[in-house]
Structure 1
Amino acid sequence: MVSIISRTLVDPKSIKLTNQRKTKAILTKGVEMAFRSGRECFQVLKGIDLDVSPGDIQLLMGPSGSGKTTLLSILAGLLTPTAGSVYLLGEEITKMSREKLARFRLENIGFIFQGFNLFPALTAAENVELVLNIKGIKGRLARNQAQYLLEQVGLASHTNYKPGDLSGGQKQRVAIARALAGNPQLIMADEPTAALDSRSGHNVIELLRILAKEEGSTVLIVTHDPRIIDVADRVAYMEDGILRQE
């Protein structure tokens, strides 16, 4: 009897990519984005490779129009890139169905918006509770968690204040508490200090860094504000759709 042993050859590059996917909170490979206007095609992102380790604070910096917000939207699963792959927490979101992607975002990503995006008719606590309710946490448990999160961001005495009665820094703290609702593994922030003065902006980012480190979350911050570089673990720079990571 003749025994035949077949040997499957495995591409070392595919092994490396698989290992990266398992160890990186955020990983992009060759991400490109083009928008068409009539007969013209505008290349906004050009072969973006980015990797962010779990628990890191990653800044994404660059001038207006450099492609930062477009990249953030792709990483958040709000836009589909023209080419390339995006892996979050080891999952390739660029191949997910719309339903699975929406569920993944809800369970794993907390967002902080430039304009706060708080509901003006709701109190600080109710703004946080609303996110918890969407995630299936309701009733007394949601109220207790909202209270705890607002205490963590220094707003224990402002839980019943509506956004119109809060300063810019306090509104951003509510936004951070809301982003942390449900303990997301990823926090993505778009220009979180744009509406704040220097002191408030630095305090908010430092608070976000401390809370994220304690919870083990990974934070990606899109900004053109150089005042907050010192709180980052890593900084990447974008210009004309090209990324340089340091």
Structure 2
Amino acid sequence: MGAIVAKGVEMAFPSGRQSYQVLKGIDLEICRGDIQLLMGPSGSGKTTLLSILAGLLTPSAGKVYLLGDEITGMSRAKLARFRLHNIGFIFQGFNLFPALTASENIEIVLNVKGIRYRVARQQARVLLEQVGLGDKANQKPGDLSGGQKQRVAIARALAGNPQLIMADEPTAALDSHSGHTVIELLRQLAKEGGCTVLMVTHDPRIVDVADRVAYLEDGVLKKE
């Protein structure tokens, strides 16, 4: 079984007296170690599908398996633990804490995973070195460029060695050169660590870094 598997996933949201079907019978299997892009026009349901596959939303129907475990049947507490230890998230707005340094933004994730004090600081420094920001460890997000902030966000997502990375429009706030550089870096680090990456994007400039591309349109998945 793949690292991320969706079987017959559907999602409907109430809209007045009716319901609006966003996802219609989605079947998807992402192999371990692959970089999978999920593309499609705005409003096609990409972020909804990512949220379901990450265990942040419960689908109206269907099942989701992550690393061989069915997450659609898990209790909230068990699912929260599973996400904490197995999934790293990258958001389009970076979602860094403005009052914390680059290093502290990573340390806080390590702290939640039970890694603290000097060990957390040391691991954060290593991750920042990996993304080429070893000299920016004590800078706050306000002092960093968009590309640098996204590199910190990637380092934070990789903290604690998660097996899955879920990224929602990670290049949206970046120019084309920074965007491609950052995603190429993510690809390289993910491949080295054996991570599986699912990335929602409408950015055609990063298609060449993916192993596979799937297109979502009107709630229906079309393979590449």
- Output the TM-score relative to the length of structure 2: 0.99
Instruction: State how 1:27-46 maps to structure 2 within 5 Å.
Output: 27-46=5-24
Give the aligned residue type for 2:92: Q
Q: Which residue of 1 aligns with 2:119?
A: 141
Give the CA deviation at 1:133: 0.2
Q: Distance in 2 between matches of 1:126 and 1:213?
A: 25
Q: 2:102 matched to 1:124?
A: yes
Q: Which residue of 1 aligns with 2:42?
A: 64
Q: 2:161 matched to 1:200?
A: no
Give the aligned residue type for 1:72: L
Residue in structure 2 matching 1:73, options 26, 29, 51:
51
**Cα deviation digits, residues 151-176 of structure 1 (max 9, x gap):** 00000100000000000000000000
> What secondary structure does 1:104 align onto?
helix
Checking the alignment, whether the CA contact within 8 Å between 1:169 and 1:204 is kept in structure 2 is yes
Q: Distance in 2 between matches of 1:182 and 1:151?
A: 15
Stretches of structure 2 lacking an aligned partner (at least 5 in a row): none
Residue in structure 1 matching 2:148, options 170, 176, 179:
170
**Cα deviation digits, residues 194-244 of structure 1 (max 9, x gap):** 000000000000000000000000000000000000000000000000001
**Cα deviation digits, residues 109-157 of structure 1 (max 9, x gap):** 0000010000000000000000000000001100000000000000010
- Output the TM-score relative to the length of structure 1: 0.91
Give the aligned residue type for 1:178: R
Checking the alignment, whether the CA contact within 8 Å between 1:53 and 1:218 is kept in structure 2 is yes
- Structure 1 residue ranges, 4+ long, deviating more than 2 angstroms after superposition: none
Give the aligned residue type for 1:132: L
Q: Distance in 2 between matches of 1:126 and 1:171?
A: 13
Give the aligned residue type for 2:104: E
Stretches of structure 1 lacking an aligned partner (at least 5 in a row): 1-19
Q: Distance in 1 between matches of 2:206 and 2:185?
A: 12
Q: Which residue of 2 aligns with 1:51?
A: 29
Q: Which residue of 1 aligns with 2:165?
A: 187
**Cα deviation digits, residues 29-64 of structure 1 (max 9, x gap):** 000000012211100000000000000000000010
Checking the alignment, whether the CA contact within 8 Å between 1:33 and 1:45 is kept in structure 2 is yes
**Cα deviation digits, residues 54-82 of structure 1 (max 9, x gap):** 00000000010000000000011110000
Q: Distance in 1 between matches of 2:91 and 2:4?
A: 19
Let me know the Cα RMSD of the aligned residues.
0.5
Give the aligned residue type for 1:220: L
Give the aligned residue type for 1:55: G
